Amino acid sequence: MAGPDDPDPAGPAGRGDPARSHERTGRSTQQTTGRTPSGSADAQGAHMTQPAPEVMPGLEPPSVPAAGERAEDGGAASRPARPAGPGGAALQLQLDAFLAHAGEALIGFRRDLHMYPELGYAEHRTTRRIAERLAEAGLAPRILPRGTGLICDIGPEEGPTVALRADIDALPLQDEKDVAYRSTVPGVAHACGHDVHTAMVLGAGLFLAQQARAGLLPGRVRLLFQPAEETPGGALDVMAAGGIAGVDRAFALHCDPRIEVGQLGLRTGPITAACDKVYVKVTGPGGHTARPHLTADLVYALAKIVTELPSALSRRVDPRSSLSLVWGRVSAGSVANAIPDDGIAEGTVRCLDDEAWHRAPEMMKALLHSVAAAYDVEASLEYVRGVPPTVNEAASVQMFRDAAAQVIGDEAAVPTPQSLGGEDFGWYLESIPGALARLGVRTPGSATEYDLHRGDFDVDESCIGVGVRVLTATALTALWDGGRQGESEPVEGAALA
């Protein structure tokens, strides 16, 4: 997850502002650089290979009630029979057995990735290791066109499709931990938990593949192992390769070292913010500081732009959107007695509201030209899209909540605050409903405080089994119940919102 010190969104993937699949298309200006996925969500991946489920060793399926015992469902006889609830006792027993057998291997898989981290779009070994493990389980993963990241389908094509996403890239940080699985790559470390995300989605996929073999999946689960979340840009590559074509809902977990293992942080509505970068260049004739009236006082004009734009921009939108502009670099001139002829300012724009995010470039351009004109200087704006806000759908959050209650406990779900950090899972939720939840990774009762994007970041590895349980139960809930149509909860003021 990109945090307060988000990497440059203009990295290897290019600068992005893809067209949205719903009717409120993002507005752009000539100063807004962008990249566009190839077609609508349905059109994307029209040539995607759909692997048939393979027969593989699995757990014994639980007893399935007869269709007549489910008359209360109203027409349930036309749907595949299922055990008593997607998170019921039968599922609990199967997850216990699966994790007793596979839990240590998943921890070992995470440690292997941790020792050999790879940056965005360089995750070749990581991709190969994931693909090999899925192939061993009889699945047919498909590597993305750029050579890193992959997509893998589980279960029948009939019925709904649910996606589980893991990001697989590491950070350009030195691993500072003194552990046996410390990074062997200088200056690169899994300091955001993406190795944990990968192990959890892999584990959920392996378990669900066994469920598919037993005929217990009423639809398809798509595993998205996404490259380059930190760059960002990897989500756009997944979408362009058809990763969300035909997907009804998408879910993801992200490590949170502030929450204890066994807890799941939930929030309806915006959970992370949009994060864009802006580059302003101001030019003028320059001159001597003794005669500012005979030229354009460029430094003074730049100072007015830097101070006035943030407050003016925030007053053009609803305050609840949390639209903010913060400068990180300002530069002009080289000597004390000369007015320079150019200067620059660079900063970030963050926002929790989707509508305000789409309006931000044109609003900022208009405000910039207004201030610049008052001081007779020229100003240009380059507005670089990073990621949209990640806005959790209420029904999808409820699925997470139900799943956590069934496979962890009734008190597992806890409120989690909004973050102004960026997360490119928001690109998926621009097109399809879904939710991102925060998984507790701190040892219960521990006084040790870790944080994301730090060289000493680590997790209590028992969180991997918890994540497998939550992702599995959430996927099954989404497949069986289809999203509690018509049910919603308030975005503001809800107990877990």
Condensed to tens digits (0 to 9), the pLDDT of residues 406-448 reads 999 999 999 999 999 999 999 999 999 999 999 999 999 988 7
- What is the pLDDT, as a whole number, of residue 230? 95
Assess contact for 271 and 421: CB atoms under 8 A.
no
* Candidate from 53-57, 168-172, 181-185, 475-479 with smallest mean pLDDT: 53-57
User: How does DSSP assign 196-223, residue by residue?
Assistant: HHHHHHHHHHHHHHHHHHTT--SSEEEE
Q: Is 462's pLDDT higher than 80? A: yes
Assess contact for 424 and 234: CB atoms under 8 A.
yes
Percentage of residues in the chain having pLDDT higher than 90: 75
- What is the pLDDT, as a whole number, of residue 482? 63
Using CA atoms, how far residue 478 sits from 85, 264, 338, 473, in Å, is: 12, 17, 65, 9
- What is the pLDDT, as a whole number, of residue 72? 38
Condensed to tens digits (0 to 9), the pLDDT of residues 184-230 reads 999 999 999 999 999 999 999 999 999 999 998 999 999 999 999 99
- What is the pLDDT, as a whole number, of residue 448? 79
Tell which residue, 238, 147, 247, 203, has the closest CA to residue 461.
Answer: 203
Q: Return mean pLDDT, the chain.
A: 84
- What is the pLDDT, as a whole number, of residue 367? 97
Condensed to tens digits (0 to 9), the pLDDT of residues 11-46 reads 333 333 333 333 333 333 334 433 333 333 333 332
